[in-house]
C-alpha cells in the first residue's frame, strides 16, 4: 500500500503544483469476519460524503461509485 500511496501522492502533487503529504497515516487494518461486517463497512464508506456535508445523501455524490453487486455469502433478498 505504501508504494501505491507514494506514487499517487507524487502524481497528485505534480498535477496540483504543490508539495507535501496527500494521504493520512494508516493506524491499523481490520479483518472482516462476516458479510454483515462487510456490509456495515461499505455503508460507512458510502456515507462519508454525507458526513462531510458534500451531499444530502450518498446517491447525490457524483464521484461515489455504487452499484448493486452480488454478495456470495448472503442470498439475494431483492
| pTM score of the predicted model | 0.46
Sign of the dihedral through C-alpha 42, 45, 51, 57: negative
Per-residue pLDDT at 50: 93
Q: pLDDT tens digits for 37-76?
A: 788 888 888 899 999 999 998 888 888 776 666 666 776 6
| Number of structural domains in the chain | 2
Higher pLDDT, 10 or 3: 10
pLDDT band, residue 9 (cuts 50/70/90): very high
> Where in the sequence is the domain holding 6, given as residue range(s)?
1-30
The verdict on 21 and 57 lying in the same domain is: no
CA-to-CA dists, residue 60 to 48, 55, 63, 66, 73, angstroms:
12, 6, 9, 11, 29
Mark whether 17 and 3 lie in a shared domain. yes
**Co-location of 53 and 69 in the same domain:** yes
Residue-level pLDDT at 12: 94
40 and 26 belong to one structural domain: no
Q: Are residue 26 and residue 44 in the same domain, yes or no?
A: no
Residues 15 and 47 in one domain: no
Specify whether 25 is located in the same domain as 37. Answer: no
* Residue 27: pLDDT over 70: no
Amino acid at each position: 500500500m505504501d508504494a501505491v500511496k507514494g506514487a499517487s501522492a507524487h502524481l497528485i502533487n505534480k498535477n496540483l503544483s504543490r508539495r507535501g503529504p496527500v494521504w493520512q497515516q494508516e493506524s491499523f487494518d481490520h479483518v472482516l469476519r462476516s458479510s454483515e461486517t462487510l456490509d456495515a463497512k461499505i455503508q460507512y464508506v458510502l456515507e462519508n460524503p454525507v458526513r462531510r456535508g458534500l451531499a444530502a445523501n450518498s446517491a447525490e455524490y457524483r464521484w461515489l461509485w455504487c452499484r448493486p453487486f452480488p454478495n456470495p455469502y448472503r442470498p439475494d433478498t431483492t
